[in-house]
Structure 1
Amino acid sequence: MREKAIAQLRVAPGSSARLDRRDPADKLGLSDKVKAEAEAATLFAEFDDLHNRLWAEATRSVLLVLQGMDTSGKDGTIRRVLSGLNPQGCEVTSFKAPSETERAHEYLWRVHAVCPARGKLGVFNRSHYEDVLAARVLGIVDADECRRRFRQIVEWERMLTEEGTTLVKVCLHLSKDEQRKRLEERLHDPKKQWKFKVEDLDTRKHWADYQAAYEESITATSSAQAPWYVVPADRKWVRDVAVVTLLVATFRQLDPQIPPPHTRLENVAVD
């Protein structure tokens, strides 16, 4: 997949996300699954090298933020993207409903505490955006509070980038029909029933509200330093190639370098 195709997934700062005009089943110019997976294999090899260089350089970090409706493929994306990478250089954090301790602090406290250290690739499975998505739909915060949080999030993300963390924010864009198929598969497949939660059906009833919340949140927080990318998620193989292409493009731009040895090695010998 050419980086040009990825560019169309970017939500330009100041523009509307227009989720209703983005096709969750878009193939992004990929002809078929076999060719896509062959392309992905090449990209993953390059990604492994770039990630090792970031880990060795240890001066900057990358944070992949994954958001999406239930069954959009956040877990699957993480498994695919991190497969084969040096686990020492990766950190994955999944965010659920805040604990009592977390609720006693401001909403960004728990997120800031687990941002990746220099040299690491961090992945957020859900993120601080739940505090303007689920919190908005469930009525925990109102429209005015959401707008205030949008401003705070943009400023916080700017601080992270200025301190050396590159953010890659991905919304996995799933259709309602595809979600139904995946929920039914979880319901009827004994190997997947452990994933099924009745609460997901309650969330599904508020599909339109969540789509509106995503539209508003992405539009308000796609910035020059941390833009959003809306990745079609109905086809898992398209999703995976799109995300790894995006990450490889990001790492290429960073161009991490292997540092020189700590000492001169000309006269060093191993007995």
Structure 2
Amino acid sequence: MGKKIALNIDDYKVSTQVKLKSLKTLENFDTEDAELKKQLEKVRRTLGEFQDVLYAHGKYSVLMCLQGMDTAGKDSLIREVFKDFNARGVVVHSFKVPTELELKHDYLWRHYIALPAKGKVGVFNRTHYENVLVTRVHPEYILGEHIPGIHTTKDITDHFWQKRFDQINSFEKHLADNGTIIFKFFLNVSKEEQRQRLLRRLELKRKNWKFSPGDLKERKLWDRYQECYEDAINQTSKPHAPWFVVPADNKKAARFIVADILLQELTKYKDIKEPELNDKIKANLQDYKNQLESEKNE
């Protein structure tokens, strides 16, 4: 393996107001794709080992929120980053258009009931932020939530969106205070790269199923989506629930960046360690061993 990539988390972490247009969409570390893949494999094995300890410790959960424009690479990133995890230790939720039942509850309900239990890692593929992104680009969707006082899109004011940001910040602070370690990643893909990936969906038969004419309609709203993402990120990147903006034009580099950020940040929790056996069991370990060894002679 080549020289280890020394990733500086601060290059991606949002700690001050950002302008998405000024942030890069391509990162390759001057490294070949094959080498990036090897570096990812090493990091994800260590992450998998950490998850075993997280489960045994049983006092924290991890929530990874993944957002990005269509074709940003969310699905493949989840598959590659968590490949070495115990399947029972990671739960992935992909949030689509709200169901009839979900619309009968507040907008955070379906996300709350999907949160990871202590000891587990939860991945939200599209997240509660859709409620200040897609709905902001298409405010008519809010009318389907049947909110008191909201009768037309004219009732959806800047104050409405600010209140939602405040609610989301409170929601995440509550989770963090109760042992959920939160990561929020925005996969920052360029408009040109999205165009190329949409073309591949059309050209490759095995990828045709991913294409929808609606993709092109949403693409025409690119600038508006970028504005809404930028505002959401700036409004809600907090020390207890930070946003990381990850260049996503190179999928292999993006996967490595996300995995390495997870590993660097999680290993800061020095209290996450395997529990020790109680004194009574420790005192009788040899006896238990003798009992098992004696079975050989039965």
Q: Which whole-Å deviations, capped at 9, do the CAs of 1:189-228 have from their partners, x for residues lacking one?
A: 1100111111111111100000000000000000111110
Q: Give, as a single letter, the amino acid of the residue that structure 1 aligns with 2:23.
A: R
Partner Cα separation in structure 1 for residue 38 and residue 97 of structure 2: 38
How far the C-alpha of 1:267 sits from its partner, in A, is 2.0
Partner Cα separation in structure 1 for residue 64 and residue 30 of structure 2: 23
- Is residue 103 of structure 2 the alignment partner of residue 103 of structure 1? yes
Determine the structure 2 residue equivalent to 1:198: 213
SS in structure 2 at match of 1:268? helix
Partner Cα separation in structure 1 for residue 275 and residue 197 of structure 2: 46
Determine the structure 2 residue equivalent to 1:118: 118
Partner Cα separation in structure 2 for residue 31 and residue 102 of structure 1: 45
Is contact 1:30–1:238 with CA below 8 Å preserved after alignment? no
Q: Which whole-Å deviations, capped at 9, do the CAs of 1:166-189 have from their partners, x for residues lacking one?
A: 001000001000000001100121
Is contact 1:133–1:213 with CA below 8 Å preserved after alignment? yes
Q: Give, as a single letter, the amino acid of the residue that structure 2 aligns with 1:175.
A: S
Q: Which of residues 161, 169, 174 is equivalent to 1:154? A: 169
Q: Which whole-Å deviations, capped at 9, do the CAs of 1:81-102 have from their partners, x for residues lacking one?
A: 1102101111100001111111
Partner Cα separation in structure 2 for residue 261 and residue 205 of structure 1: 59
How far the C-alpha of 1:250 sits from its partner, in A, is 2.1
- Is residue 200 of structure 2 the alignment partner of residue 185 of structure 1? yes
The structure having more radius of gyration, on CA atoms, is 2
Partner Cα separation in structure 2 for residue 80 and residue 16 of structure 1: 31
Partner Cα separation in structure 2 for residue 260 and residue 113 of structure 1: 31
Q: Which whole-Å deviations, capped at 9, do the CAs of 1:122-152 have from their partners, x for residues lacking one?
A: 0000000000000000023542211101011
- Is residue 264 of structure 2 the alignment partner of residue 261 of structure 1? no
- Is residue 26 of structure 2 the alignment partner of residue 25 of structure 1? yes
How far the C-alpha of 1:32 sits from its partner, in A, is 2.4
SS in structure 2 at match of 1:192? helix
SS in structure 1 at match of 2:288? coil
- Is residue 245 of structure 2 the alignment partner of residue 230 of structure 1? yes
Partner Cα separation in structure 1 for residue 77 and residue 157 of structure 2: 32
Determine the structure 1 residue equivalent to 2:12: 9
Is contact 1:150–1:221 with CA below 8 Å preserved after alignment? yes
Is contact 1:92–1:122 with CA below 8 Å preserved after alignment? yes
How far the C-alpha of 1:30 sits from its partner, in A, is 4.4
Count matched residues.
Answer: 267
- Is residue 158 of structure 2 the alignment partner of residue 143 of structure 1? yes
SS in structure 2 at match of 1:65? strand
Gaps of 5+ in 2: 143-155
Q: Which has the higher helix share?
A: 2
Determine the structure 2 residue equivalent to 1:71: 71
Is contact 2:40–2:81 with CA below 8 Å preserved after alignment? no
| TM-score, structure 2 as length reference | 0.86
* Larger CA deviation: 97-106 vs 204-213: 97-106
Is contact 1:67–1:172 with CA below 8 Å preserved after alignment? yes
Q: Which of residues 154, 167, 178 is equivalent to 1:163? A: 178
Determine the structure 1 residue equivalent to 2:226: 211
SS in structure 2 at match of 1:123? strand
Q: Give, as a single letter, the amino acid of the residue that structure 1 aligns with 2:64.
A: L
Is contact 1:67–1:126 with CA below 8 Å preserved after alignment? yes
Between the aligned residues of both structures, percent identity stands at 37
Is contact 2:91–2:123 with CA below 8 Å preserved after alignment? yes
SS in structure 2 at match of 1:224? coil
Q: Give, as a single letter, the amino acid of the residue that structure 2 aligns with 1:32.
A: E
How far the C-alpha of 1:259 sits from its partner, in A, is 1.4
Q: Give, as a single letter, the amino acid of the residue that structure 1 aligns with 2:99.
A: S
Q: How large is the RMSD of aligned CA atoms in angstroms?
A: 1.3
